[in-house]
Amino acid sequence: MTIGIESSTKPAYGKLAWKPAQRHIVVSDEAGLVAIERLLATACPTGADPIRVYILGREHRTGSLLRAAPASLEVHAQEPGFSAALSACMDTAPAASRLYVAGSEPFLSLVRRLARDRGFAADAMLAELAGSGARRAQCVHCKTVYDDIARRAFDCTRCQVTLIVRDHYSRRIGAYQAVVLYPSDPNIPALRQELL
Amino acid sequence: MNLAIAPQTVDLPPNVFRGDMTFRNSDAAILRFPFPFNSDRFEMRGVGIEPQDRRGPTAAYRSLFDIDEHYLDEVAERAFVLDHDLSRYAMLPHMQQAQWEATDYIMRAMAQDFPESFSYRREGSNCRWENRLLEQHQEFVFGRDETLPCAAFEYITRQTQGDFVLMDQRQGTLWVDGGMVTASYGWSFDFILGMNWHDWHGTLIGAAAESRVIDQALRMTMMLAAETPQRRVTWVHSARPRLDKSLENKIVWQHDIEGITADSVPDDIFVRSEFQQLYRLPSSNAIIFGLRNYLLSLRDVSRVPKWAARLHRVLRDLDPGLARFSNIHFRQECVDWLERFDDGRSLSPGAGPDTDRLEPHP
């Protein structure tokens, strides 16, 4: 049997824009800062609550955002602190809340998983991919998760085989599926070069 | 089940569906095979669902959760897979009621269909399960995990043949929220755990014909009623009698095609019949999705004249536009070998063997 690449589970990304909601939660990593600055520069149409902004990154990179002074801004340098703060915010969020996320693929995966664990509906989260298309990918054989996989084929160091990254994406695992390639597959050199 | 033809010893480590792959069917097993082709041409028209009603063309249809001569080997195979990869069994926390209801349902059906092998007694919450094939019996309290050696659904599915997915129904779709899957064909249960119907089938979306079938199957499955379980017999063309063709195990099985020649095709290529079953659980509203696999080599197929001629026609005339048939291994070699059994006569409709005696080995 042939294991194809395509899957409808591949997350769809667009440009962030406000949508009606009672509470707006805006998050990004350093790669996504430009996108949320652009969003925050436009007028937010609705919302009873102040806009909440959570950044995973270093303080000095967020200067322009601080000057724009949204109502509530938290900057966390470390992932656990960021995740705890964002989770706490989502726990108290009213049902009609929206989550605006911009950043790298691994960051989007992280936030998507946090939102899923907090019972956020999938369509309550809007995402914009920033930076490279590098993905988190899980070796389906040994379950090791690799960050920053930039190309279609890479090696699993634990299984010692070459894997292909599919577009099949699991929100639960927060990663794309990577599956062994037949060792003599003639496409391997080209897949190693193909950017995701 | 005729224990006289059951394997008397179980290889350790199991060697029947892996390793040397010593899998063989007895004559009786060949005749009870759920042959997947009703007519001379296989088409993805409709989803082919029919009532799962203990009636059908062979003995494999006469029970809900079928037990056959491969029981001990399949139980050993499953235990071996679980020993090496715990991800093949999982149950999300909100499925607690459903997994107990499913366990009760499966035990009831096994005891009803195979009373000489299994018995199940339940008085209030006090239950007693006896499995004479494994020489086990167990007293437990319904709903209380700690009264069984493991989670209830894991407990019973370690004693069945076939894979099981437990689906939850909410938000207008079905969710893969639990299961015991040690013999999937080209997919990973662990990866799709927690996905909804369309994401679960996400990798098939490219093929328009299959997409329509997937939408239609979702609508039909969501309407499933507790009193009318459903089934669908489908198939794959499989190299060697390996059950564990999961994505997890692809590093191993992707080499199964190596060494197969035109001469070895009759013994190395198998019709793998996937007997899918759907049962609605009325209290939890969850659905048991059973995927029971049967394997028959081309040589075994050829001992039933009608099946041999039909398989020849099906393989010869497959629509190459269907993505899943575009790369069937050794298709031409199989067609060439099967041609000798097909004189072009007209074959009776339906999948029954039309005989109770096998032809000698060709």
Q: Using CB atoms, which residue from B202, B249, B251 is nearest to A168?
A: B202
Return the number of other C-beta atoms located less than 10 Å from residue B291's C-beta.
18
Q: Does B173 touch chain A (CB under 8 A)?
A: no
When pLDDT is averaged across residues A99-117 and rounded to a whole number, the result is 90
Cβ A8–B87 below 8 Å, yes or no? no
- In this prediction the ipTM stands at 0.90
Q: Which two structure tokens, joined as six digits, stand for A194? A: 């193909």
The pLDDT of residue B214? 82
Q: Does B239 touch chain A (CB under 8 A)?
A: no
To test the contact with chain B by mutation, choose from A123, A141, A169, A177 the residue with the greatest count of B C-beta atoms within 10 A, namely A141
Q: Which two structure tokens, joined as six digits, stand for A69? A: 């002074």
Q: Using CB atoms, which residue from A8, A143, A180 is nearest to B202?
A: A8
Cβ B203–A7 below 8 Å, yes or no? yes
Cβ A140–B248 below 8 Å, yes or no? yes
Q: How far is B121 from chain A (nearest CA, A)?
A: 38
Q: Does B251 touch chain A (CB under 8 A)?
A: yes
* Chain B contact set for A174 (CB, 8 A): none
Question: Could you tell me the end-to-end alpha-carbon distance of chain A, in angstroms, rounded to an integer?
Answer: 24
Cβ pair B315, B133 in contact under 8 A: no
Cβ A141–B250 below 8 Å, yes or no? yes
**Local confidence pLDDT in tens for the 362 residues of chain B:** 434 344 444 446 789 999 999 999 999 999 999 999 999 988 766 557 899 999 999 999 999 999 999 999 999 999 999 999 999 999 999 999 999 999 999 999 999 999 999 999 999 999 999 999 999 999 999 999 999 999 999 999 999 999 999 999 999 999 999 999 999 999 999 999 999 998 988 887 655 556 777 888 899 999 999 999 999 999 999 999 999 999 999 999 999 999 999 999 999 999 999 999 999 999 999 999 999 999 999 999 999 999 999 999 999 998 776 656 666 889 999 999 999 999 999 999 999 999 999 998 88
Q: How far is B238 from chain A (nearest CA, A)?
A: 8
Question: Considering only alpha carbons, which residue of chain A is nearest residue B257?
Answer: A1
Question: Considering only alpha carbons, which residue of chain B is nearest residue A167?
Answer: B203
* Chain B contact set for A143 (CB, 8 A): 87, 190
Cβ B205–A7 below 8 Å, yes or no? yes
A109's enclosing H/E stretch is helix A105-117
Cβ A1–B251 below 8 Å, yes or no? no
Q: Which two structure tokens, joined as six digits, stand for B50? A: 């029919």
Catalytic residue among B32, B88, B231, B232: B232
What pTM does this model have?
Answer: 0.88
Cβ B188–A9 below 8 Å, yes or no? no
Cβ B199–A177 below 8 Å, yes or no? no
The pLDDT of residue A43? 84
B232 is catalytic: yes
* Chain A contact set for B270 (CB, 8 A): none
